[in-house]
Amino acid sequence: MTRVFVYGTLKRGGDNHHYIAYQQFLGAARTVAGYTLYSLGDYPGMVRVPADTAGVTGEIWTVDAACLHQLDLLEGVNEGLYERVPIRLAAPADDQPVETYLYLGSITGRPALGSEFKT
């Protein structure tokens, strides 16, 4: 089982939530500072931004290996669209490892969304 931090269309109420709806929801969370969201059209991309002080809000889910594989396909990991990486969450989250998807494409001309994507 893998703990995954989701921040966009995979969240409850999001267009792609059906990919994880049958997995275990652990709760709301926020990343440590250093990340922000950009609009990629109908979905966001989270990128590292060292100057960020707020972090990104989202949800933590525990997913099985089959689900994680489907998420990697959805996020285009093999195509280089996103990479799945470990991140730290802000307090009061525990220190257990959490993985998330960071956007690898250009954010030039993309509107910044800040810390939250509204589903």
Residue 21 lies in a domain: yes
Specify the pTM.
0.94
57-63 and 2-6 beta bridge pairing: antiparallel
Residue 45 lies in a domain: yes
Confidence of residue 32 (pLDDT cuts 50, 70, 90): very high
Residue 52 lies in a domain: yes
Residue 119 lies in a domain: no
Structure tokens at 93: 């989250």
pLDDT at 92 over 80: no
Contact yes or no for 102/9 (Cβ under 8 A)? no
Burial class of 66 by CB neighbour count within 10 A (0 to 12, 13 to 18, 19+): exposed
- Amino acid 55: pLDDT: 94
- Amino acid 91: pLDDT: 78
- Amino acid 38: pLDDT: 97
> Cβ neighbours of residue 21 under 8 Å, at least 6 residues apart?
none
Residue 53 lies in a domain: yes
Q: Which amino acid is at 40?
A: L
Q: How many residues does the chain have?
A: 119
Q: Which residues lie across from 47 on neighbouring strands?
A: 36
pLDDT at 83 over 80: yes
Say which range, 44-48, 61-65, 71-75, 115-119, has the weakest mean pLDDT: 115-119
The reply to whether 75 belongs to the active site is yes
CATH of the domain at 69: 3.10.490.10
- Amino acid 85: pLDDT: 97
- Amino acid 93: pLDDT: 72
Structure tokens at 44: 């966001």
Residue 70 lies in a domain: yes
Residue 81 lies in a domain: yes
If one counts the domains in the chain, the total is 1
Residue 14 lies in a domain: yes
What domain range includes position 63?
A: 2-114
Given the residues 75, 79, 99, 116, the one annotated as active site: 75
- Half-sphere exposure of residue 36: CA atoms within 13 angstroms, side-chain side: 14
Confidence of residue 96 (pLDDT cuts 50, 70, 90): confident
